[in-house]
Each structure stands twice: as C-alpha cells, then as structure tokens.
Structure 1
Amino acid sequence: MATVLLVRHGRTTANATGLLAGRTAGVHLDDVGRDQAARTADRIAAVPVAAVVSSPLDRCRETARAILERQAVAPTESIEDELTECDYGQWQGRRLQDLAAEALWSTVQSQPSAVTFPGGESMAGMQARAVAAIRRHDNAVEAEHGPGAVWAAVSHGDVIKSVLADALGMHLDMFQRIEVGPASVSIVSYGAGRPRVLATNTDAGDLSWLARSVPSGDAPVGGGAGDSAPDSPDA
C-alpha cells in the first residue's frame, strides 16, 4: 500500500487576520507561511516522494512548490480540483469573529454533517469529494510505484480534517476534534482492509523512517516495536 502525506498549506495573511479566505483568488502565503512551508519541505526531503498533488489555490501551490524544489529526484506534479477548499459560499471573505455570531456556527461546531453553507457546498459533500480524490490518487501511485511509495497531497485545514476523520472511521460530526495546523503533515497508509493513520498534525520531527518502511496490512498485536526496530529473529 502507498502512503500519503497530507500537508496543509502554510499560513496566509487571511489566516493571520482572522478572515475565512475560502476560494478567494490571490490569497498567498505570508512571510511566516513561506518559512513554515520551507521547514515542512525540508522534513519531507528525507523521503523520496513519487508525486505531489495540490489544490488549485495559490497558497497550496506555493507550499507544493517548496516540497518539489527540495526533492532530489523530481516527483510528478499535478493539480486536483477535488482537493480545493470548501465552498463556504456567503461566509467566504468574512471575519471568523463575526461568523461566530451566526446561528449556523454552532452547527458547524457540533453537527457539521448537517451543514450546507449558504450559497456554498455541504461539509458532507466536501468530505466525499476529497476522500474520493485521495483514494484515487493513492491507488494510482501504488499501481505505478509499488506498495512502498510515498506521495504528498497539499490541501486545506477542513479538507484534511475530513480525510483524517474518514481514515480514522470517525463520523464527520466528530471531525472538529482533529487539529490540522498550517504546514502540518499528517500521514495515512491505505490498505485493502482499512486505512492506518500513522501521524496527525506534525510540524517537526524526522520523516526519514518513511523511506525505509513498507507498511503491513495487519496491525501488530500489542503495538509492535516501531519503525526503528532492528531486523532480528527476536524482534
């Protein structure tokens, strides 16, 4: 099975000022976001990635470019519209502080599966198209590069949270329990039986173990010895 790195874009001026950017054109990484993207790209550079797939929005493409530039061997790169930000409709471009006073806000927090943003899309629809896109690309990467392949998908906070919720077997109504920070890396390995969530919301740490690991389809009873365990009959 292949392994996907779910990378959120770095911080933007909209993030820093409390605006819900949504699909607004021309929202770029700010100085902090560019530094975050560079650090994340440096972490991922320890792993040869077979492909980098990005949301079409500028902030994700800029983050993806940082990852691509630090790979020793150029991965394939592509844009995937189904990984774009949620269509927040009439909420787009508004301050989060003001949106928190809307009646719909509490439903977004407690029952997102019931939410359709005014003039926009439903959160359930967002999850369905994002999960389908991730699984489709994952199958394609594994078919071309083998079960040990690693690839990166660069997307947005709510989109990645919804993909992680699906991989964890959680109902969408619990996805607000998951945190996905700017330029964070979450790791999922899809298998024939079930996905394995290897990490969530990481912003530091060595990822080189991914280059040495071919995940098994079975979970080790008792938790196993970890990826750094020595190869020996008694391990």
Structure 2
Amino acid sequence: MPTLILVRHGRSTANTSGVLAGRLPGVALDERGVAQAAALPARLERIPLAAAVSSPLQRCQETLRPLLAARPGLPLHTEDRISECDYGDWAGRKLAELTDEPLMEAVQRHPSSAAFPGGESMRAMQARAVDAVRDWNARIEERHGAEAAYLMCSHGDIIKSLVADALGMHLDLFQRISVEPCSVTVIRYTRLRPFLVRLGDTGDFASLVPPEDGPAAAGGRDAALGGGAGAP
C-alpha cells in the first residue's frame, strides 16, 4: 500500500492572531507561512510523488503552490473530507477566550465526547479523514502501484487524528500529538498495519528551546486547538 506524506499548512494569519479559524474563508498564510511553503519543494525534492491532495481551504492551497510550480506535472486533487474540523460557533473566536468554556475540558481530556456547538464532533472529524485516506490509498495503489507515495496537505487536528488511527490510539489520546505548521508527517501503510515513519518533522528544533517566560509560554499543559502557531 502507498506511503502517505501529510503536510500541515504553513503558519496562517489566524495562527499568529490567536484565532480559531476553522473553516472561515479568507484565512491566508502569513509572511512566515509563505516562507515555509517556499521551502517545501526542496525538503521533498528527492521523493517521487504520485499526486497531491489538498483540503479546500485557502491556507492549504497556498502551501502547495510552490510545490506544484516546481513539479508542473504533479496532479492536484481537492478533498473535502480532509478539511479543517467544523468548529461551528467557535470558529472566529479568540483561543484565549475559549479556555474557560466548559467544553474545552472535554476537548483536552475526552475529545471523543466533544461536539462543537453548530459544528461537528471530533469523532466525526476523525472518521471522515480516515475514510478519505483509505479511499486515496486504494486509488493511488491502483493507478501507481503499492510502492507509490502521495501527499496530503491538511490541518493540525486532522493530521493528529490520522496519526492516532495509524498508531491504534484511542482518539482520547490524540491531544498528546503535536504537529507544527508546515511540518511533515509520514505514514507507510501495509496490508496488515501502518507504520509511522515521521512525525511533525520541520527540520527546525527552535520549538525545543526552553522559553524565557517559563512553561506557560510554550503552551502550558493543554494542546493547541487547531494545531497552534508553532515555534515563536
């Protein structure tokens, strides 16, 4: 079965402003995100890609533009099932103000029970993303062979939920996984089980440097809903 290269979109204007973007239109890459996207072709240059599959949201499409420009023959497919979680009424709100919402404790500690008001549940989010990967695995293998590799550009919570599925982890544990903007995660699928080959690889260890302001500056004890902005 194929190898899946998961790329989280580059840092966005919502990431840097502390807003939960969700599926709101018009959320673009910020200056750093544009630079991250520009570096992606060189990072992946040795990997023959059968196809690129993207979330329909602007920040993912922008992340793939330099890669597609560097590989004119690489087909791009848009896949709604790997779009961002539908955060419903939470979309567009500041992450800082969501901390005190009673639902946030479930999102952090028991995400399989969490459903966003006016949006979807985290279980539904994972299920649709896993279904999309299974379908694309079959499609890529049929067209390009079992050794093919293909890329998906998606979002933090989507990628974390796919990693949890690949590792056989319950969704309630997926907040222990971290993927920074424009990080590369690789899952090699086989007939009997998947293998996690890379997780959140950016090639940059800046996020491991202890922050001057203490643990809270690094995100404290909670996972960043939506994936966070990455290293400062």
Range into which the TM-score falls when normalised by the shorter chain: 0.7 to 0.9
Give the aligned partner of residue 41 of structure 1: 41
- Aligned partner of 1:91 in structure 2 is 90
1:68 aligns with 68
Q: CA deviation at 1:203?
A: 0.7
Report % sequence identity: 50
Aligned partner of 1:208 in structure 2 is none
Q: Distance in 2 between matches of 1:16 and 1:154?
A: 20
Structure 1 equivalent of residue 115 of structure 2:
116
Shift of 1:64: 1.8
TM-score (norm 2): 0.86
Distance 2:43 2:70 in 1: 9
Name the counterpart of 2:218. Answer: none
* Cα deviation code 1:176-231 (max 9, x no counterpart): 000010000000011110111111000129xxxxxxxxxxxxxxxxxxxxxxxxxx
Question: What is the alpha-carbon distance in structure 2 between the residues aligned to residue 171 and residue 185 of structure 1?
Answer: 22
TM-score (norm. length: structure 1): 0.85
C-alpha displacement of 1:38:
1.6
Contact 1:40 1:184 in 2 (8 A): no
Aligned-partner Cα distance in 2 for 1:126–1:8: 16
Number of the residue aligned with 1:18: 18
Q: CA-atom RMSD, angstroms? A: 1.1
Whichever residue aligns with residue 27 of structure 2, its letter is: V
| Cα contact 1:45–1:67 (8 A) shared by 2 | no
- DSSP-derived class of the 1:108 partner: helix
- Measure how far apart 1:66 and its partner are: 2.0
Larger radius of gyration: 1
Distance in 2, matches of 1:117 and 1:41, equals 36
Q: How many residues are paired up?
A: 204
Segments of structure 2 that go 5 or more residues without pairing to the other structure are 205-232
| Runs of 4+ residues over 4 Å off in structure 1 | none
1:66-85 CA deviation, whole Å, 9 max, x = no partner? 222223x6222110000100
CA distance in 1, matches of 2:70, 2:125: 31
Separation in 2 of the partners of 1:151 and 1:66? 16
Measure, in 2, the Cα distance between the counterparts of 1:161 and 1:77: 23
State the Cα distance separating 1:62 from its structure 2 match.
Answer: 0.8
Could you tell me which residue of structure 2 aligns to residue 27 of structure 1? 27
**Corresponding residue of 2:81:** 82
Q: Distance in 2 between matches of 1:193 and 1:102?
A: 41
| Matches for 1:1-235 after TM superposition, within 5 Å | 1-71=1-71, 74-204=73-203
